[in-house]
Amino acid sequence: MLICKFCVKGCKNDNSLRNHERLCKNNPCRQVSYLESNRTNLPQCNGANKAKLENREYIVSEDARMKMSVHANNRTDKLNKENGKRISVTVNKKVSNGEWHTSLAKNMHINYKGNDLHGSWELAYAMYLDDNSIKWVRNKDSFSYVFDGKERRYTPDFYLIDNDEYVEIKGYKTEKDDAKWSQFPNHRKLVVLMQSELQEMKVIK
């Protein structure tokens, strides 16, 4: 996933990012879309647009604002719960099938200051480190471990320079993860941050 430099919206690929940034409302040099340039010719379907056309102020009562806010929150909570259930079912299925690492995590890309991060938790942690002036790099060091009779390589997510420690951001632990962590070199420090630790650190909600 790529991030808009004007509004931090996520885009799936380079093409969608270019198109979004070109029309992004936070872009001071943005291109005005055809619909916007011809908006007065479009049917006006709400009070705010109608008031704008008539050059008058549009006032929403406090009671109406409260009702709209409650409705929006209820709708958002419902959608979040439904989406959360669907994601949880999918992830648990992939974890049980041993497909989690290759099918989901590796396909989630977020470009943050030139670093290729995998998922919103890694992005939140990177921003947390920057906010707290903690020097870090996207880790490239890999370590040998054995799983299912095969020698493999494990690359933790972050390296904290001043602390001389590696950090792994993890949502779901598998047997493969246990093998990685239990065989990590004793003379190196590895910190694994799960959802509960990230929430305790106020990195995520």
Taking phi over 0 as left and psi of -120 to 50 as alpha, with beta for the rest, 192 belongs to beta
The answer regarding whether domain 109-200 maps to CATH 3.30.70 reads no
Of the CA atoms within 13 Å of residue 82, those in its CB half-sphere come to 6
pTM of the model: 0.52
Which has the closest alpha carbon to 167: 196, 198, 134, 191? 191
What does the domain layout of the chain look like in residue ranges?
2-46, 62-97, 109-200
Which has the closest alpha carbon to 169: 148, 135, 144, 139? 139
In sequence order, which residues have a C-beta less than 8 Å from that of residue 104 and are 6 or more positions away? Answer: 91, 94
Q: For 174-184, how does the pLDDT look when each residue is reduced to its tens digit (9 = 90+)?
A: 899 999 999 99
**CA–CA dist 55, 8 (Å, integer):** 33
Q: Return the pLDDT at 94.
A: 67
Confidence of residue 103 (pLDDT cuts 50, 70, 90): very low
**Residue ranges in the chain assigned as alpha helix (H):** 14-23, 34-37, 47-53, 62-96, 100-103, 120-131, 175-182, 195-200
Q: For 61-73, how does the pLDDT look when each residue is reduced to its tens digit (9 = 90+)?
A: 777 777 777 766 6
Q: Return the pLDDT at 171.
A: 85
Is a pLDDT exceeding 70 seen at residue 51? no
